[in-house]
Structure 1
Amino acid sequence: MSNLKNKNLNLPIAIISIVIPVVVAVLFVLPKPDIETGFDVRVMPFFHALLNSATAVLLLASLFFIKNGYATAHKWANLTAVILSVCFLLSYVTYHFLTESTKFGDMNHDQVVDAMEIAAAGNIRYLYFFFLLTHIVLAVVIVPLVLFTLLRAFQGDNARHRKIARFTWPIWFYVAVTGVVVYIMIQPYYA
């Protein structure tokens, strides 16, 4: 890791931080291919919720470890959380490449939420969209924060690592938890 000590990785981190949300956004407008995957992709949102849950638990463990002086355990909890987040991203991109998005309230699965379905969903829709919107916005923000936080740790720049981690941890934790909340709320509308 010492070869990272003097490297300026701002540009690669900026590129990654831009490419990821652009690719995800493009997935929502591309036509879905007619590909036989050999497995039921409808299980993937549950898998995503499991990955987000595990990430949230690892982040809690990471915070506990660093507050109690277990730096090595802190490091491994965070690296594992990053690996799970990368797995989530790859699985999420695959799922949305292969399937149409589920619409909150779409009880008949016709990709249209009509007035009756809106009424049936009730005011919980506003809470769902609040969690979804904040989750999406902060998921975009968290990518460079996590990458810069990790970079500072690998560079041995503990002061800057701690400074940025104070912002990274709560945002990352919120994104992980709201990923699960959004899944639980929309799960009844999956086909």
Structure 2
Amino acid sequence: MSNPGNEFTLEFLKDLSLVKALGVIVLISGAAFAFLIWLIYYKGGSDYSSTLITSLPALNALLNATSAVLIVLGYKAIRERKFRKHMKLMLTAFFTSTLFLISYVIYHNFHGSTPFEGQGLIRPIYFFILITHIILSALVVPFILTSFYFAFSGKLAYHRKYSKITLPVWLYVSVTGVLIFGILKVFNQ
């Protein structure tokens, strides 16, 4: 029986060495994370605001929730050996996460950082969620890109092993993104 993932192999990735692929992935991920740190913590917001801009956090939460659902459905599909469905769901989750990132950048370009006003027990809970979310969001981009590289280069054994790390990290980042939005919505009134 042929390998069921071979139909999804992209020749240019198959010929790309692991070292070069990881180098490109680390470079792209590092640049994106550095840009986000600058945007949120150093650039500051602008004076412009609109209903569209103020509605972006809710859209971001919706995109994160959608990604989380797609990731779970993609996991379910691969457990059922539905390779094509798995691929479509994971690519859609990646697309949804990419839309989230674009919306997130637009929002923080105009808004800057959001201080947390909650007090009491919720404060350490919020900051634990936020800090773990930030750390893992820095790792999730290279994890996702590496998982896709392994899948689309035909290195399916590596893809399976690596995705066992990628999936829970990506799911955690997506779910905690929704939690952060909800906590801010409730406690920053």
Asked whether 1:141 is paired with 2:154, we answer: no
Q: Which residue does the alignment assign to 1:85?
A: 97
Matching residue's letter, 1:130? F
Q: What's the % identity of the aligned pairs?
A: 35
Asked whether 1:30 is paired with 2:40, we answer: no
State the distance in 1 between where 2:28 and 2:105 align.
15
Residue 31 of structure 1 and its aligned partner are, at CA, apart by: 3.6
5+ residue gaps in structure 2? Answer: 1-9
Q: Which residue does the alignment assign to 1:110?
A: none
Q: Which residue does the alignment assign to 1:2?
A: 11
The residue matched to 2:42 in structure 1 has which SS? coil
Asked whether 1:64 is paired with 2:73, we answer: no
Q: Is the 8 A contact 1:102 1:189 kept in 2?
A: no
Which deviations, in whole Å up to 9, do the C-alpha atoms of 1:33-81 show, x marking residues without a partner? Answer: 3446x64311000000000000000000011000001000000010001
Greater relative CO, 1 or 2 (CA 8 Å, sep 6+): 2
Residue 32 of structure 1 and its aligned partner are, at CA, apart by: 2.7
Q: Is the 8 A contact 1:142 1:168 kept in 2?
A: yes
Which deviations, in whole Å up to 9, do the C-alpha atoms of 1:81-120 show, x marking residues without a partner? Answer: 1111111111111111101322111xxxxxxxxxxxx6xx
Bigger helix share? 2
Matching residue's letter, 1:45? P
Which deviations, in whole Å up to 9, do the C-alpha atoms of 1:134-163 show, x marking residues without a partner? Answer: 000000011111000000000111100001
State the distance in 2 between where 1:127 and 1:35 align.
32
TM, length-normalised to structure 2: 0.88
1:102-121 aligned at under 5 Å gives the runs 102-105=114-117, 121=119
1:37-52 aligned at under 5 Å gives the runs 39-52=51-64
State the distance in 1 between where 2:84 and 2:170 align.
20
Are residues 23 and 30 of structure 1, via their aligned partners in 2, closer, same or farther at CA, if it must alter by over 3 Å? Answer: same
